[in-house]
Structure 1
Amino acid sequence: MVVATRVLVPDRTWTTRLDRREPPPCAGSSSVRVRLFLSREYSSRRLAGGGHARTDHRDKCAGNGDQIFYVYDPALFLSYEATRRAVHGMLASMPLLRGVDISTDNWASCSALDAAATSMRDRARKDDDAGLGGGRYHFSLELAMEVTLVYIEPKAVVRACAETVMQVAEPASADHQCTICMDGFDNIGAGPTAPVNLPCSHPFHTHCITVWLFKGHSCPVCRHDLRGLVSAPWASQARKLGLKY
């Protein structure tokens, strides 16, 4: 993963409420209105940076989104899991987040999703227990989301080398071994033990050279400088905006 995504919804920056309830008999669909306030931060883990992320620039007001999603079966709100999946899917489909991986694994905390699903479920179950099941619900969810995109330069360098530098290492060759771990190249396929050649033609295990580049910026053998070989996908845009990168 060359660019990692981190999603944060800070505490007290989200609200969930029931705007309107229509008890049966009724027709039509329920709805959830999502109001999203988005900010973005662009960071990089550089060569020789020790794995620490450095902020390149921030966009504190990347945009606002307001969209209504229709739910045609109000029974969905009786299930916490179904409601949570639905709300997450609504957020993921908003144009403001197009191209952003907001899978729950990337969330620092899912408390906003959890609270929204719990609130909607509790409202629906209360009505269902009172004999009003099947009514239409019109909820609103408002939240501020902070998305951090972290460019991992060591991984990007190794990927670029694997794609563009001719592979010369051969398995079980006495002349070709990883000079970081001193083991030979037994796996010429993909994976962490597969060899990758740097532009200077020195081969290393993929995992070994990746770890090395978090601490250094050059070939361990000849000190060929690898800085500037690749750049963050947003670097050119940052320069156009006059931002320091």
Structure 2
Amino acid sequence: MVMPEGLFFFAKFSILKTYCLLQGTILHPKTIVRYAVKLTPYAIFDMDGTLLCSTGMWDHVTDRILAKYGKTITHEQRMANMTLTVEGTAAMFVQQLGVPLTEPECAELIRAEARYGYAQEATVKPGVEQVLAAMHARGVRMCVASGTETPLIEAALTSHGLMRWFEFAVDCKNPDGKKKPDVYLDALHRFGVQNPVQATVFEDSPVGIATARAAGFATVGIYDEPMAEFWPQITQTADFASRTWQDWLQNVQQTGPAPRK
């Protein structure tokens, strides 16, 4: 019996999606072509929760500062804080939570606590070093775009031996952070490129993924335990989603050099 073309496509898709689920990866149903995971010439990486296990570290920073002044934070406020810059977090602490400091004073306190946290608490996510080496070997140019300030990014990645893989790091210039695509576009333009389809954004945040994808970037969602409640949303939004960097590495190893314009 000859299977109708539409049914054959559905069968192929179902088999492929089942394979992805078994491998711990999720195929976005609308982007089956992208599952080939063809490397783009440029890659833009988030840092916290994507390259480093540091999302929980930021929770500790928040808790230490608020405990010092007898303040508390709700779960909703903590989640909203994930996408804010240092200045945005300082504004939240002072305006919403009543921390008795000026916003610049609070921002400096956050930076000091973050420097300690990156040095003493953050760790590199398993598989990151191997992925960066594999992408570099295939000619992908890489940078970091984060809500964390550039000096903190560079210090954190240098201390963990990762900064050598990246050409530069950029941070969010607006307090709303990655709710707007500015930081991704800034990174793209630093490469001397205008078209977002030339770059892939790697993120653990559903906000960052949605923003980057809406701006025209290819997107890869990376699982981070502190953001587990958002994983279903990430798998429905990102072009490709993986629970581990090792899963992504398997796909990178099956690709050739990144295409150039």
Bigger Rg over Cα:
1
TM over 0.5: no
Structure whose residues are more often helix by fraction: 2
Q: TM-score, normalised by structure 1?
A: 0.27
Structure whose residues are more often strand by fraction: 1
Q: TM-score, normalised by structure 2?
A: 0.26
